[in-house]
Each structure stands twice: as structure tokens, then as C-alpha cells.
Structure 1
Amino acid sequence: MRNDLRETPEYQAVADYLLRLHEPAFGRPHALTEPHATADGSAVVVTGAVYDKLEGLPRTALYRVRDGELRPLAGSPGSARWARFSPDGKRLAFLSDRATARVFQLYLLDVGKDGGEAVAGPEVPGTLEFAHWSPDGTRILLCVAGLGADLAGGQGSGTNVTAAPEADNWLPRVESGATDAAWRSLWLYTVDSGELVKLSPEGLNCWESGWCGPDRVVSVTSPDPGEDSWYSAVLTLVDVPTGETRELYRSPAQLGLPAATPDGGRVAIVRAVCSDRWLVAGDLAVIDVETGASTEIDTHGTDVTFLSWLDAGRLGYLGRRHLDSVAGIVDAAGTARELFSVGHAVGGPWYPDGAFTADGRVITVQHAYHLPHQVTWSGPGTEEVLASVAHEGTKRLLAVAGTAAPVSWEAPDGLEIEGILCTPPGEGPFPLVVNIHGGPIWSFLNSWQINYPWVPLLVSRGYAVLNPNPRGSSGRGQEFARHVVHDMGGADADDLLAGLDALVDRGIADPARIGLTGGSYGGFMSSWLVTRSTRFAASVPVAPVTDWYSQTFTSNIAGWGTTFLGADPEEPGNPVHRRSPVMHASRVVTPTLVVAGAKDRCTPPGQAEEFHRALLAHGTESGLVIYPLEGHGVRAQPALTDFLTRLTGWLHRHMPA
């Protein structure tokens, strides 16, 4: 297997496919996230992902939504994101790395001056992840991550530390526990005076935070900055004048999305069993700040993923329910009223988010397999498209990407399992690729490219792609999500095998041409299923766990793994060993291409190498690809083009369309 494919016809074909998609939008946004609006909805801003050419990762830029167009805002070198209007709507705070690549600092822009220059805020000791205006608009809460803090798996894993100069690339990697650069802290910036002070005390790591009235802050915190510590984080109240802290709420599940009323009387929080930081989807609770009493809110089966108080009595939320995206408002009595429920994606690449206006409307980014990203304004019985990223490249993709439709089947125990099936034109049976999502607690929706560029690419080559949501996926409530805890690779694997049987019986899938792929937990499952069945013609696991024992002593989320397995690695014969694909490599006959990133701290590349070596030792065809600059998944160009070339080539070789 060659390490450089750039001169091959296969690589050139994939590169041309991607160029045809993105070139018409060079210099303009091709995807949208982080919508925000003034309280009256008169001004809307979004973050756009922009390719100037197919090289590296896309930069991010800010766009004002006006007169049906996306107009650039605060243009500058580098990237900008997280634009937030002040409470009076006159100023815009945003984050940009224009001074130093990947190190985001605060900037302020006068909204009333179109084309005006943004003014830099004070430099913070690290990179900013969030910024929140105080309710009175006089101060900004800054969430600062040190240049050495862990990145979540959804961010690509690794750390956010800047690269060493090339002349110093011989220096060793050194670890000695948590360093000062690993912590996340809170700082306060007073806009008029320019004063910057640190708020959070030493020894308190602040993952997510927001204002709780004018003189308090609420934060999801832990006493350690390591990624594994997030899973046991608690909700903490921080007093601004004194810096004193008080634990407000804790849960055996994970906590996220803290949001408080403007007067600071109540805090809303989402409680959910989670497999990844930032991927929080679950039950909604509202806590009385003074008494600590919590009230559970019935959101009619919706796993909540976004919260925003409209005022002291109304709480806006978005979330997932089965294969739908849902938006609603909880009134002062605690009753949830839905604004909409749609069968496609709302928000960014992971979970629904948006922005609520004071009159009860919500602004979101909506998209589907057949619909490029568009900014939409929704209210009771109304919907208006404000702007779209559609262009000639998206038209070309839609012409070859086939169709997407919901599909369901029955698991061996009778549980209904859902997913999204993408098919090329014509009648089946098709060669089928099962695209397994990560997490395991996440889920597929009908979304643009189903969130992964290989899905429409495979369909354009004549493959059907099943994107399943087995038990453990979000959108079906906490009981459904907890099914995977202490049973990873058990009943959820049976769900996937049952789905294949159903699609074969329905004449959609060719039983002789079924393949697997997926990243993270999908990489584990793509490695695990080939030890369970010999029916697969090919498999391409990405960023997999293949040996839960060695994962425990090399990953930065080892505690999560042993908790979800319910196992102690020192006890022989427990799930750490029984559910490790590498321990069952002798059963595998499926040709397997294992892919990893060298900078991955969640599922280190040794996991891919172990499985590859084990397969070779048992005479099974295997390939190993490790990208030196990638982390958890393959994201940047030209590595992404190379990966797509190897994925389609491996499948074509072993199960041609």
C-alpha cells in the first residue's frame, strides 16, 4: 500500500469531486454555526466556515444576515467566531485569532458603524472559548483555556497548545501531570474602564459558564483540568465581588449548558449520560439558586441540547426527539410549548442550537441531505428563510448524492431502532456501507452530507449508506441512552446486525457486499463487528478503540471507558478483555483498513496499530494508515482527500459497486 497517492487517478478523482463542491464558494461560507440575534431580532449574525482553497482546515468568519444575504462582518486575517450582541444591541463582542493563529482573544465592534474597525480587548493568558455579556452590558465574562488544555473529541482531541518552531521539533514530549497551561479559568472584563481580573479561584477548572444575575456566575466545574474530570463535574456558583464558590447542584450523570435568568434567581441545566464533552443531550432541570431545590421540566420526550432565557419567566430550548429537531419555550409555570418539530437538522454539526428573541421567535441554521445550510427564523405558525449558502457546488453535489430517508427495524429484543438510509438512483440490492456514529451517545439526523463527506461520495459511486442510531444514541430519552452503559458492543451490536438483516430482506442490501466504517465509537464498532460476524466484505475503522486494557493506560478519557464498560482492567476476564476486538482477532476474515491520527489523545493511534498487527498475525488482510498531523478523526486537507481516496479504494477493491 503506497503512502503517497497524489499522482494516482483515484486521488485525482476524489480531489476533483471535492473541488467541484467547494470551489464555487471559495472565499464564502459553505457551512454555518453559532447564530445570534439582538433581543428584538433586528440584527442577526452567524459564524461561517470558509475555504479560500482546499488546504488545511477552513477558517471561520462572521456574517451579518441582511436582505437575504450573508454579509462579511469584522473582516480580518485569521478566524473569527462566537459573536454576541450586548443586551442593548449596540455592541458586538466576538473572538478572533487575528494576532496569533489558534489563540483567540476578545474584540468589540460598534454595531451602528458598518465597516468599522473592531477594537481589541485586553489579552488573556490563553485562548478564549466563550464570552458572555453581563445582564446590564457593563462587563464580559471570559472563559479562558490555557495553551495546553485538552480538546474534546469533537474538536479533534489533542491539546490547543501552539506548535513548536520547526527548529525545535526535536524536543521531547514531557508529561508530569496537570500543568498550569491545562486549566480553564474565568476572567472579568469591564468594558468602559478596560479592567481585567481573574474571577475563578486556583484549583477550580471551569468547563462551561454564564452569568447568574449581575453579581454571580454559574459554572460547570471540576477540581482537575483533565478531560476525564469533566464526567464528574458539578454546578458551581461563583460570587463576583468576593470570588467565593458554592456547589449548587450535582448529578450522577453529566451536566452541561448552564443558563441563568437575568435576575439570577433560577438556573437551568441539562443532565445527561454523555460520552463526549460538548455533546450533551438530555433532561432539563431548573434550580432555585437560593434554596437549591430543582424542578424537572417535561419537554415531551425531547433530549435538550440548547438553553436560553428570554426573560425571568420564559426559557427557550432546542433538542432532538427521535429523528426530529425540536424547539420550544418553557413558561413560568414550567410548561413546555413547542415552536416546531422538523425532520431534519437544526444547528451545527453536532446538536441543535440557535438564538431566541424577546417575542418568542427562534433563529436557527437548518439543513438536510437535500438542503444546504440556511438561516431560518421560526415562530408560532411562521417560518422565514433569511439567507442560504447554496451555490453551484451544492447543486452539483445534490445531482449525484442520491436521496436520504428515515428507516427503522426491530432489534432481537423487540426494540425499534431508527436511522437514515441514503441510496443512489435505481433499484436494489445495492452494495451497502454501514456508517456508525461516534459517542456512542450521539445520533444521526437528516443533515447536510449526514455530517460526513464520505456519505454522499459513496452514494455517488453507487453504494447505499445506512446511518443507524442503535441503543445508546441520543434523541430517545435517557433510558434509551443508558442501554449502552455497561454493555458497549453488546445489544447495540445486535441492533446493527438486525438492521442489516432487515435491509437484505427488503431487497435494499446485497448480502455479499456489506461494509463497515465509522469514527471513534464507530471505529470501535467497525472493529468489533468483524469479530462477531464473517458476513462483512470490508471494514474501515477510524480512530478506534480496539484494546480497552491498553486504552485505559494511554487515553485521556480512560475513566470514561472503564465506567461505561463497568469493568476493572486489573480483573482478568471482565469486559475490558471480553469486549476488546484485538482479543478476538483470530475470528476476523474481513479485510480491514485501520485509520488513526497521531495526535489523538482520546483513542491514541496505538489502538489502530494493535488491531492491524493482530490481524496480520492471524493471516487477515489489513492496512494501517496513521496521519501525523491529525487528531481524533481526519479533518484537514490534503489528509482528508487522501483518506477519502483510501476509503473508497478499499471498498471498491473488496465490494465493488
Structure 2
Amino acid sequence: MTGLPDPGARDIRGSAEFERVAQFYRRWHAPAFGAVSGAMSPAASPDGLAIAFAGEVRTDLEGRPRFRLCLAERSGIRQLTGPHPEVDERNPQYCPDGRTIAFTSDRETPGVQQLALADAASGQVQDAPAVDGTVEYLRWSPDGARILLGVAGLGADLAGGEGSGSVVRGGRDGLPAWVPEVDSGVSGEHWRSIWIYDVAGRSVERLPLGGLNVWESVWCGPDAVLAVTSPSPGEGAWYTADLRRIELTGASAELVHEPDRQLGWPAASPSGRRRAVVEACSSDRWVVAGDVVVIDAQRGTAAKISTADVDVTHLQWLDESRLAFLGMRGLETVAGTYDARSGETTETWSSAATCGDRYPVASFLPDGSAAMVHSSYSVFPELAWLREGKVETVASLRHEGSDHLGEVAGRVEPVRWTAPDGTEIEGLLCKPAGPGPFPLVVNVHGGPVWAWRNHWTLGGAYVRLFVSRGYAVLHPNPRGSSGRGQEFAEAVFGDPGGADTHDYLSGIDALVARGVADPQRIGVTGASYGGYLSAWLITQDRRFAAAAPIAPVTDWYSQHYTANIPFFDELLLADRPQGTAGRYRERSPVTFADRVRTPTLLIAGAEDRCTPPGQATEFHRAVLMAGVPSVCVIYPGEGHGIRSFPAIVDQGARLLDWFGRYLPAS
């Protein structure tokens, strides 16, 4: 049963399917309008009694969510700053004495985050001098006298996992509509820098970095910072970034570690003697999961440490010798500590549930306890403490809408199967009540180096929508995924669409054999690398009744010359684009589009710099030329993935209609 009279219509707001999907999201979100319904960036108060966080507050289903500075205490949740419907507040961090919370706010200029400070008791806010750019993160110095600010120029790129596009979205500075967009390569607005705010003097100063772009940074003792840097601000330059210790005077930028993979999550002990960083084979900035390298400046040593087989996604020194970490091991989220004096690693917590957003993160205190946003497919996000291996809920964000969603969105279960070469593959299966077989949608994750976790939203805003309509949704973690070590993650490099193709197909075979999936009703979707695989799979196998690639790569040649991360496709393909043969041709879905017999819905964002919308258009035209139904939908104002209402509603309606036409649930 289909829901749209014409899947190629531009405006579908009057359709029954659009209204039905809109009602689904209203039932989900409306009961919490005006209240805190989501959370990110938890920060532990030094006394262990409160958790500051950025609380999601919606008042309608328009645009992207905005966040408020909030506190979770035993008495409940308190919005610390006053109601400002148009203001977005993020990145809370407690001063070491616990009296002040530094955070960022765009109250002066929409979309441009600047430093602000709030009294932790009263919520009274004090603004700081503005910096030239937008503040992406902040860190208090160990003595609380200064605040490190990571600042991006207003023309800098967002990472793919953040939605791509520029760091500040919106209008064109009041310019007439005819004024062109101009690209001349790197400009001053693309750089990321470090600024230091002096609390007593209420002044801010930019560090002289001598042509270094700083992707991430933390304090490294009282007079230096530890930073992931590159000599260029282009998003592709991140893939070859190194680790440096930069003196506050700017007189020195000492090379600390030069990796052969990508770097993330730098951390330093209070004195700066010991440093640590995660080194991993990675697809996107801020999506780094892998090995931990510990550097001892006094001894002049650098070594990878044992992390109990965990791909680490978060690091924090508890004191001069103990390093806390958090990450993934298979489908588990795991926390632990490493003692640099004894060399011992201790696992402190593991769970099928998880914390954080893209990857597990938390905020640790010196005693090893941690503040987190804890959730699973059956547990709505809650502010919680991790203490002595147990999760203690401080305040749940549950509401009537989330309870309704839990009733209609089925359940999740881990699944495992064996690929043709004997490799065990695992994933998460969301399915409705009942015995099956169900129509199955395979949801391929992005990256490819990332992984599905047992998270409240799991595979995105539309997964629960699918399950509520009778679809089972498989979330595979094939080779290339995080949580299985670097060898497993690197197995896809040089071979995208190779062995991992059979990881997906064998998973479908396993669910068909188990009576879960109907072999005549198999669909595939996914975003980013998942969009690439969705397009690729239908050129390799004809079992799919429908496909919906989102933000895909379909032609590696044109991707290389139009995306903002050309270094990555060379890394992934282990090849160069020059010439007419090789993997740039052999692994491009568009090369084999004449084989496609699967009706294909392609979705992209007009502002996506990571996988530009032309990739979707190119494959769409090729599929039409093959005589197969195809629709291409490009959303204005959206980047890498659709993240704003009502575009989310529109996308959900189109997806359900497309799959309903070719693999109906009833």
C-alpha cells in the first residue's frame, strides 16, 4: 500500500503519508515541547553532586534542535540559564573549584558560538570578549585561571559526522540573492586556532601558531597545550595531522607524535608530563576509535598500551599516572583505567547499553566515577553516574512521547552470522512484535569506520518509524567497523565493496534462513558510506526489491574532484584517480549502473561538501538510463544527512512510500 500519489512530486505536504509521518514525530516529540528532551556534552561537577549538560529543548517541529545549559541533580533537571527560544547553548565545563560553568552561546549572533560563564548556583551569566570565529570546544586550565578555546573560522568545514557544510549555517550576510558563491581554495576563514581567556583579567588572546591549523587541543601543564595539528585547514588535511606541544608564547610547537593513522582525543596529565592520544584508521574527524599511545615526556618514551581489546573513543587523565578510557568492544561499551606507573589496565564497566552520541564519551572525576548520557534502544536517554561499575540514574528524560515510541517500535536484539570466508559478523536487529517473516530493510552504517551501538536512536530518526510500520531493520557491523580492533577496521581499506559486500549478503541469507526475513521483500538503505554500499549492492546482486541510498558516493572520480576530503578516497581505495582503470572505476556504482534492476530513491543535502549532491544525481540519471524507476531528492539547506524538521518528516514519508511500493509490510 503506497502513501504518495506521485513519488516524484516536489511538495508532498498534502499527502496522507506526509501527515501520517508528521503525526508519528508529533507523538514522539510534542509531549516534551518546552522541556528538556535530549542531552549531550555531560560535565561532572567536582563534588560529584551534579551534572551540567547541553539540554535539547524543542518548542515545535521546525529546524534543528536548540540546546540550553542545564543541571541534573538529585532533585531533578534544572535549566540553569533563562528561556531564550532562539539561543543555542553548548559545551559546558566546570571550573576546578565547581563554582563556575563555562559554556558557549550564540546569543549575540545566530550560529556563532562565543564563550560565556555562569554561576553554578544562581545561573547568572557573564559574557566574555568575542573571538574571531565560533568556539567549538573549551577547556579549563588545571588551576582554573584560564580557559582554552578551540575556535573555527566562519568558513571552516564541519566534519562529515557533524553534517558537513560550513561551521555556520544560515543566510548570506544580507547579500542579494544574485551574489555568487566563490571558491579560491583556502582563505583566512577556514583556519582553526587556539585562544586563551584570562578569567581574572576578563581578556582573550589568540595564540600565535605560525601556520598550524589546530583540530583538537587540551592543556598540557600550566604553560602549554597538546594539539592535533596540520599545516593546512582543509578538511582533507586532518587525515595526515600530527600531535604537537605548543607553548602559550607560541615560541615552540614541538612534534610529540607523528602517526601512520589518524589522531583524536588528545589528553595530558595535570603537569603535562604524560600525554595520550587515540591513533586509529578513521573515516571522519571526531569519529576516531582505536589504539591508545601514551607518551612520557620525562622518559622520552611513546608506546601503545593495552585497553582490554577496546577500540577507545574517549580519554581523560584522572591524575599524574591514571588514565581513564571509554570505547567499544564488539557490541559492548566498555570503560577502564590504565596506570602508567604499574603498566596495568583495569576494566571498570561493560554494558550492552551505551553512552554518548556518535561514540561513547563521558566526563570523569579523579576518583574514577563518570558523568554520562546513558541510553539503549529500550532506555530513553538519562543523565547518570558510572560508579564502581554500576550506572546510577540521576534524572531520566523520559516523557509520554518516548513511552509511546517504546510501545510501537518493537525491540532490538544482537545477531551474528558467518561470512563466506569464515569471518564472524555481528549486528543489531530491530523488529516488530510477531513471528515473521518480515520485510527487511538493511541499514548500512557510514564511515566505513564506525559501528552501530545499542543506542536510543540506533540507526537514525527513521528506524523506529520503519519498525512501527512492520519492517525489520538489520544494522550490520561488517569488516571496516569499530569495536573489533584495527586489523578488522582496516580490512575494508583497499577493498571497499569487496569482502564487505558479502558480509551484508550473508547476513540477509542468515535472517532468511532463520525465518526472520522474507526473501522477496528485501530493501537496503544507509547514509554516507552506507549510501555508497546501498548503491553498490544493487549493482552486484538483484535480490533487493528497493534501495534508498542517502548522501552516497556513486562515482569515485567525480567524488575526488568535488568533495572536500579527496585524501580520504585515496586512502580508502588505496589508489589514485589518474588514469582510466583501477579501483576508482572498478568500485564506482555508476560504472555498473546498467546492471541495476532495483527501483532506487536517492537522497542528498544541497550543502553537503563531504559527498556532494551531484553524486546522487549522477547515479539517478544512470539508473533511469537503464530503464529502472528512480527518484532523486535534494534538500536545500541540508548537509551530510537530513537533520532538520520538517525535512525529516518529508524524508520519512518518501522512504516509507518507496519501500511500501516495492516491499510492502502488509
Report TM bin, short chain.
over 0.9
SS for the counterpart of 1:4 is coil
1:4 aligns with 2:30: no
CA distance, structure 2, for counterparts of residue 345 and residue 383 of structure 1: 11
Question: Could you tell me how far 1:76 is from its partner in structure 2?
Answer: 4.8
2:116 to 107, 128, 131: 107
Deviations 1:272-294 (A, max 9, x none): 00000000100011101245421
Is the contact made by 1:80 and 1:94 (CA closer than 8 Å) also made in structure 2?
yes
Match of 1:529 among 508, 524, 537: 537
Q: Confirm or deny: 8 A CA contact 2:479 2:503 kept in the other structure.
A: yes
Residues 1:602 and 2:610 aligned together? yes
CA distance in 1, matches of 2:300, 2:184: 38
Q: Paired residue for 2:55, among 48, 52, 66?
A: 48
2:190 corresponds to which of 168, 182, 185: 182
Alignment partner of 1:622 is 2:616: no
Give the Å deviation of 1:451: 4.0
* Distance (whole Å) between structure 2 residues aligned to residue 391 and residue 97 of structure 1: 28
* Pair 1:460 & 2:468 matched: yes
> Contact (CA 8 Å) 2:532, 2:552: kept in 1 or not?
yes
> Whole-Å Cα distance in 1 between the matches of residues 168 and 54 of structure 2?
23
Q: 1:103 to 1:382 in 2, by over 3 A?
A: same
1:242 shift after superposition = 4.5
1:502-541 Cα offsets, whole Å, 9 max, x none, are 1111111000000001000000000000000010000000
Amino acid at match of 2:334: V
Deviations 1:357-381 (A, max 9, x none): 2222122111111110011212224
Match of 2:146 among 112, 120, 139: 139
Residues 98-155 of structure 1 deviation map (CA, whole Å, 9 limit, x = unaligned): 111110000111223x2x4210011000000011111111111111100000100111
Identity %: 50
CA-to-aligned-CA distance 1:164-189 (integer Å, 9 cap, x gap): 14652211111111000000001111
SS at match of 1:525: helix
Is 1:125 the counterpart of 2:125 in the alignment? Answer: no
Would you say 1:484 and 2:492 are equivalent positions? yes
Matches within 5 A, 1:200-211: 200-211=208-219
Give the alignment of 1:273-422 within 5 angstroms. Answer: 273-331=281-339, 332-348=341-357, 350-422=358-430
AA in 1 matched with 2:9: R
Supply the distance in 2 between the matched residues of 1:471 and 1:29 (Cα, whole angstroms): 38
Separation (CA, whole Å) in 1 of partners of 2:389 and 2:640 = 41
Q: Is the 8 A contact 1:40 1:359 kept in 2?
A: no
Structure 2 Cα separation of the partners of residues 289 and 107 of structure 1? 34
**Match of 2:253?**
245
Match of 2:511 among 503, 507, 523: 503
Aligned length: 654
- Quote the offset at 1:344 in angstroms: 1.6
Structure 2 counterpart of 1:400, which letter? V
- Aligned Cα root-mean-square deviation (Å): 1.2
> Aligned pair 1:74/2:78, yes or no?
no
Deviations 1:440-477 (A, max 9, x none): 00000111121411111101100100000000000111
What TM-score, normalized by structure 1, do the two folds share?
0.98
Distance 2:119 2:17 in 1: 50
In structure 2, the CA distance between the partners of 1:577 and 1:413, relative to structure 1 (3 Å rule), is: same
Aligned counterparts of 2:260 and 2:389: Cα–Cα separation in 1 = 39
Cα distance in 1, alignment partners of residues 546 and 254 from structure 2: 54
Aligned counterparts of 1:381 and 1:469: Cα–Cα separation in 2: 26
CA distance in 1, matches of 2:202, 2:415: 56
Tell whether the 8 Å contact from 1:543 to 1:603 is kept in structure 2 after alignment: yes
Q: Which residue of 2 aligns with 1:148?
A: 155
CA deviation profile, 1:613-649 (whole Å, cap 9, x unmatched):
0011111111110011111011101111100000000
With normalisation by structure 2, the TM-score equals 0.97
Contact residue 249 and residue 292 of structure 1 kept, 8 A? no
- Structure 1 range deviating more: 569-578 or 430-439: 569-578
Q: Distance in 1 between matches of 2:556 and 2:159?
A: 19
Find the aligned partners of 1:147 and 1:376 in 2 and give their Cα distance. Answer: 35
Cα distance, 1:451–1:389 mapped onto 2, change above 3 Å: farther
Is it true that 1:550 corresponds to 2:545 in the alignment?
Answer: no
Unaligned runs of at least 5 residues, structure 2: 1-7
Partners of 2:44 and 2:370 within 8 A in 1: no
1:634 aligns with 2:663: no
Q: Do the aligned partners of 1:187 and 1:200 also contact (CA within 8 Å) in 2?
A: no
Query: What secondary structure sits across from 2:654 in the alignment?
Result: helix
> Which residue type is aligned with residue 214 of structure 1?
P
SS at 2:136 equivalent: strand
Q: Is 1:91 the equivalent of 2:92?
A: no
